[in-house]
Structure 1
Amino acid sequence: MIGRLTGTLLEKQAPHLLIDVQGVGYELQSPMTTFYQLPAAGKQVVLHTHFSVSENSQQLFGFIGTQDRELFRLLIKVSGVGPKMAIGIMSMEANDFARCVMDDNVSALVKVPGVGKKTAERLIVEMRDKLKDWSIEKTPDSNESGIIKLDEPASNVNDMIAEAESALIALGYKPTEATKAVSKVKNGDVQRSEDLIRLALRGMLPA
């Protein structure tokens, strides 16, 4: 069982990561709540991991904190929710998800790709007691106004927009949905593709 990795972050293209640990490259998948907090490529990173084995695959999932990993493990215990769907659900901030569960907000949960009405209802029923005493750690916003200000060359901005759209598509959104969501928040100067993704998801998922 692999419980934690410490190494150099080589590549990150949501939801996929590649980490070099003493010459061995580990491929992982991570939720956006982890991507928002990752350092730049080439920097050291510590991730708490979950190793998933099924009949057809072996997958490693990485999380910036143990709380995110615990939420992931709770989600995959829900009937009909696999690792891929759990990663998609964790596109929304943990406190937003907990609020949806506590408020019986089915309509918000079905906005997550792959989550239908029946799955949303099961999530609410099965997760309510588990999240009753859940201590949510709010990830600091890069900018409360939603406008990220930093001078960047146009080519870099275009690359970040492309990365953000690719990430949303990888999470299960249709290309047209991804393009539309990113276009709504790409005005102004952009610092990181992760910021664009977060703002785009805010427009599609509960705020």
Structure 2
Amino acid sequence: MIASVSGVLTAVEGERAVVEVGGFGLEVLASGRTLGSLAPHVGEHVELHTYLNVRQDALQLFGFRETRERTFFLWLTAVSGVGPKVALAVLSGYPVAELELAVARDDVKKFESIPGIGKKLAQRLVVELKDKVGELPPAAADLGGPGVPVGARFIEARSALQNLGLTLREAEEALRGAPDDAPVEDLVKFALTRKAVT
């Protein structure tokens, strides 16, 4: 399995990017959000986490900027009725943090708003992803130190911090050590205060 690729980004077009590795141009399929973040970096060195999908008639390489996006993609494709194309549509619609929050809140309408997702499939996604969302390791866990709180309040606070301009990693690092039982507003204040001090 190809777990990652690292090379020069030579093109971003349609639903794919092309990364040159060792003289070979690898076609990497990705979500609209990932492709949008890659587009300004054509001609530069990039690294992508990948998943190789082996079919009878083709090999498809899917690329992701973060491991959590790849994990969510794999969870999506494990749901009956969701293939790679639909999974990419879901990831194109919203950031993973918002999708996690939608699952935690049983927000079926969030998934219904994505092209290609009907009500029944949206309900199935929420039900089947419910247990898995809690398993998704926070990015900050890799940084050491105390962990970040988990659950709907944490996801909502993290999303609010991202809306304020923090990256996912910055938001999660700022939330490390926050009290588990704090309301969303207090989690955001805690993170912003911690961020201002560092």
TM-score, normalising length: structure 2:
0.65
Against the structure 1 CA distance between its residues 26 and 77, is the aligned structure 2 distance closer, same or farther, given a 3 Å change threshold? Answer: same
Q: Which residue identity does 1:54 align to in structure 2?
A: R
Structure 1 vs Structure 2 CA RMSD = 2.3
Match of 2:109?
A: 107
Unpaired runs of 5+ in structure 1?
Answer: 145-207
**CA–CA distance in 2 between the matches of 1:46 and 1:60?**
14
Whichever of the two has the greater Rg, that structure is 2
Q: 1:2, CA displacement in angstroms?
A: 1.4
Q: 1:55, CA displacement in angstroms?
A: 3.2
Against the structure 1 CA distance between its residues 77 and 60, is the aligned structure 2 distance closer, same or farther, given a 3 Å change threshold? Answer: same
**CA–CA distance in 2 between the matches of 1:29 and 1:13?**
10
**CA–CA distance in 2 between the matches of 1:32 and 1:48?**
16
Aligned residues: 144
Deviation per CA, 1:23-81: give whole Å up to 9, x if none.
Answer: 10100111234234435110001111101122333211011121211111111111111
**CA–CA distance in 2 between the matches of 1:57 and 1:81?**
18
Unpaired runs of 5+ in structure 2?
Answer: 140-157, 166-198
Map 1:53-202 → 2, pairs under 5 A: 53-91=54-92, 92-135=94-137
TM-score, normalising length: structure 1:
0.63
Match of 1:34?
A: 34
| Secondary structure of residue in 2 paired with 1:90 | helix
Against the structure 1 CA distance between its residues 19 and 142, is the aligned structure 2 distance closer, same or farther, given a 3 Å change threshold? Answer: farther
Contact 2:31 2:89 in 1 (8 A): yes
Q: 1:11, CA displacement in angstroms?
A: 0.3
Judging by fraction of residues, say which structure has more helix.
2
Contact 1:14 1:30 in 2 (8 A): no
Percent identity between the two aligned chains: 35
Q: 1:87, CA displacement in angstroms?
A: 0.6
Against the structure 1 CA distance between its residues 6 and 131, is the aligned structure 2 distance closer, same or farther, given a 3 Å change threshold? Answer: same
Q: Which residue identity does 2:81 align to in structure 1?
A: G
